[in-house]
Amino acid sequence: MRIETERLILREFHENDWPAMLAYWKNPLYGRYNPELADPESFVRDLVTRFVTAQAEQPRSARQLAIVDPASGQMIGTCGIRINDPVQREGNIGYELDPDVWGCGYATEATSAILRFSFEELGLHRVWAECVADNTGSVRVLEKLGLRREAHFREHRWFRDRWWDTRIYAILDHEWREHPPVVGSPLAATGVESRTFGRADQRCQTIRHDSN
């Protein structure tokens, strides 16, 4: 599976993607709203192996793709959809970007492509996401994509020595069809009136990565 958007390539994971992923997982900015890990390298290696193994599932329930900068081939994040209940045609999305390229609209662009795939190719009826309520960047990505807040759970997760509120956001297939597509997404190329997100500054045009 491979999806091309205006600025990004979403492709299947390879076993050798783990060092690029680990490099940004080690950035304290990245981990702020995630539980602390005792052994990040083992965790990331196992995760990438799980993403690769899932590619052979029949039927496939998890599609987690690497987000790649087309110019350099560098992996800069991941996004995906997991189908929790095929009968109910429901799935949940997840996304993450290297902090070096936050605020460029890449998470929104990549996740928009995943939503389009989920509704148009997989025929899902409802797509939802859970996020930490304080994670403003993630909340904003979901809102820009047209997901609605359905729940706010108080003190729902315990990590980093405190309780965190979490929220559930969701969008239905007919709401997706009515929502203006995001610039950079495959839908935007159809000429349907679209909304522009992300800034075209130099940092966003030159995807950087320090793998050391």
Ligand X SMILES: CC(C)(COP(=O)(O)OP(=O)(O)OC[C@H]1O[C@@H](n2cnc3c(N)ncnc32)[C@H](O)[C@@H]1OP(=O)(O)O)[C@@H](O)C(=O)NCCC(=O)NCCS
Nearer to ligand X, 136 or 206 (CB): 136
Q: Which helix (H) or strand (E) holds 3?
A: strand 2-4
Asked if the peptide bond before residue 28 counts as cis, ω within 30 degrees of 0, the response is: no
Nearer to ligand X, 20 or 131 (CB): 131
Nearer to ligand X, 86 or 136 (CB): 136
Task: List b or e across 86-106, with b for residues whose CB sees 16 or more CB atoms inside 10 angstroms.
Answer: eeebbbbbbbbbbbbbbebbb
- Alpha carbons 55 and 1: distance in angstroms, whole number: 9
Nearer to ligand X, 97 or 207 (CB): 97
How far is CA 141 from each of CA 39, 88, 111, rounded to the nearest angstrom?
A: 29, 25, 8
Tell me the closest approach of the beta carbon of residue 172 to ligand X, in angstroms: 19
Chain residues in the site for ligand X (CB under 6 A): 30, 33, 95-97, 102-108, 131, 135-138, 140-141, 197-198
